Amino acid sequence: MRIAVFCSGSGTNLEAMVNAQKRGDIKAEIALVVSDVAGCFALKRAEKAGIKALVVERKKFSSGKEFESEILKSLQKEKVDLVVLAGYMRLLSADFIKEYRNKILNIHPALLPSFKGTHGIKDALEYGVKITGPTVHFVTEDMDAGPIILQSAVTVAEDDTEETLAESIHKEEHKIYPRAVQLFIEGRLKIEGSRVRIL
């Protein structure tokens, strides 16, 4: 099985995947890193790990469709079976999702369905929840609403800032995201309606 990891930033979840693969906790090839941001740190991590990396910048294409079709072409060329979004800051179109139906995973830094959107950590902290944590889910057309694969609970400490809370959540992300990927690889994720049964 061949995996593509999509990144836009520092790529700490990519790093977690690479490490899990080295340890043998992910039994598949990370065949490709795709980034929409030239020069982002995730690309350096890919280079260091010897993973083929592809930069596809939206501004180089006249439409979102052409932009995505360039990415899809590369995925097909690399025979990618699973797309792992790891801090990829761009929404995928319905057409793209259709091409990889139930084969795209994402991680969100809050316990979905709470605190959807791009500020899951800040929003949870400001709301005042005492428990939060990351969610790995299948990507569907509705943002942050796809079937949930794994979640992990993180206790909000009294003196947590957005930074310290983010650190605690990311630590859990780096545990559950590789685990979810390996469950996918083993064919143990069965989607039943909005629920995921782990076989």
178 binding a copy of itself? (CB under 8 A): no
Burial letters 169-197, b for 16+ CB under 10 A, else e: bbebbbebbbbbbbbbbeeebeeeeeebe
What's the CA dihedral at 117, 119, 121, 122 to 10 degrees?
Answer: -140
Binding residues for a copy of itself restricted to 81-120, rule: CB under 8 A: 111-114
Catalytic residue at 174? no
The alpha carbon dihedral of 92, 97, 99, 100 has a sign of positive
In the block, residue with structure tokens 């350096």: 44
What is the Cα 178 distance to its own chain's centre? 10
Stretch 1-60 residues interacting with a copy of itself (CB under 8 A) = none
Q: Does 148 bind a copy of itself (CB under 8 A)?
A: yes
187 binding a copy of itself? (CB under 8 A): no
Q: Which stretch binds a copy of itself (CB under 8 A): 42-50, 55-63, 82-90, 144-152?
A: 144-152
> Residue from 11, 87, 147, 178 that binds a copy of itself (CB under 8 A)?
147
In angstroms, give the least distance from the CB of 16 to a copy of itself. Answer: 19
Catalytic pick among 108, 137, 170, 174:
108
Taking the complex as a whole, the smallest distance from the CB of residue 140 to a copy of itself amounts, in Å, to: 12
List, in order, residues 6 or more apart from 69 with CB less than 8 Å away.
Answer: none
Does residue 182 bind a copy of itself (CB under 8 A)?
no
Segment contacting a copy of itself by CB under 8 A, of 14-22, 64-72, 96-104, 128-136: 128-136
Q: What share of the chain is helix, strand, coil (3-state, %, to 5)?
A: 40, 25, 40
Dist CA 85 CA 188 (whole Å):
20
**Active site residue ranges:** 108
Residues that bind a copy of itself (CB under 8 A): 111-114, 126-131, 133, 147-153, 155, 158, 193-198
